[in-house]
Amino acid sequence: MYSSKISGLGFYVPDNIVTNHDLSKLMDTDDAWIQERTGIKERRWIKEGSGDTTATMGVKAAKIAIERAGIDKDEIDFIVFATLSPDYYFPGPGVMVQKELEIKTVGALDVRNQCSGFVYALSLADNYIKTGMYKNILVIGSELHSRGLDKTTRGRGVSVIFGDGAGAVVLSRSESPKHGILSSHLHAQGEFAEELIVKAPGMGTRWVTEILQENDPNDESYFPYMNGQFVFKNAVVRFSEVINEGLQANGLSVEDIDLLIPHQANLRISQFIQHKFRLSDDKVYNNIQKYGNTTAASIPIALTEAWEVGKIKEGDLVVLAAFGSGFTWGSVIIRW
């Protein structure tokens, strides 16, 4: 059985910076209120007419990752794209990336696991490579939240959190069993699906034709809903469990962690986990302060940025962990 390693990383975020002060002009909020609850100072939202979409942002991140991997785009033999905000209801953005990169007719798979999407996508790619099915897999997490948020006081509890952006990695076959992805661990608990949800449009709830026919300005079903306190309480428990699960599966301890990169859901969740595991500041990487929660894109953006600033070196133990809508959660243990 082969091993898989991350051979290239890249990320892209829109140029348009939206500060907490900017949001205070749209809704009843202020910088202190947002930072106290989320730790976020600013986020990136696309500008209308910029051409940025979930797929095109993914392409921009992918081009950087492919170049850094030192391979030709035609050496990519599979694509996995994680998102909750596809350009179209169908088809998914994976095929759009294949088209825009002009890659031969390789397979393209879309993963709809929201905040855990990149962890799930990376796990899938890892297992494809380990079985020998593929050699170089492009794994992307990309989100365009800003066009689907309720930017009024009614929706401030959710809308202040989310940002737009994309991250990508090239996962490649390796002959070294001691380096690369050591293991991944995935979980779900569907009984809490409606605690963090966008209900419409959906075939089983209310479809687009019904929403248009009713034309109800008070209809909130197509905006994100989150039971914030309930999500927080579950997140800190599941984060801890799945990190420990990954360490134990590899005979490792918390002391072996060189860098933890948690999904950037809320700085308070990350700080809670850091405190619980007694990790120093230099062993946890957070960038939610400047990008907000970019869901499936948050881990690849943070991973790329951490690598770019020299916080990851060869031989380091890097732990990725995520929790989000579904509920779904997971971890990936990597020996760099």
**Which amino acids are annotated catalytic?**
115, 263, 293
Number of neighbouring beta carbons within 10 Å of residue 131: 10
Q: What phi-psi label fits residue 183: left (phi over 0), alpha (psi between -120 and 50 degrees) or beta? A: beta
- β strands within the chain, DSSP E: 3-12, 17-19, 42-44, 78-82, 107-111, 136-143, 165-174, 180-188, 196-197, 225-226, 259-262, 317-324, 328-335
Which runs of consecutive H residues, i.e. helices, occur in 108-159?
117-130, 156-159
Closest CA to 57 of 20, 25, 21, 82: 82
Give the three-state DSSP class for 327: coil
Cα(53)–Cα(70) distance, integer angstroms: 26
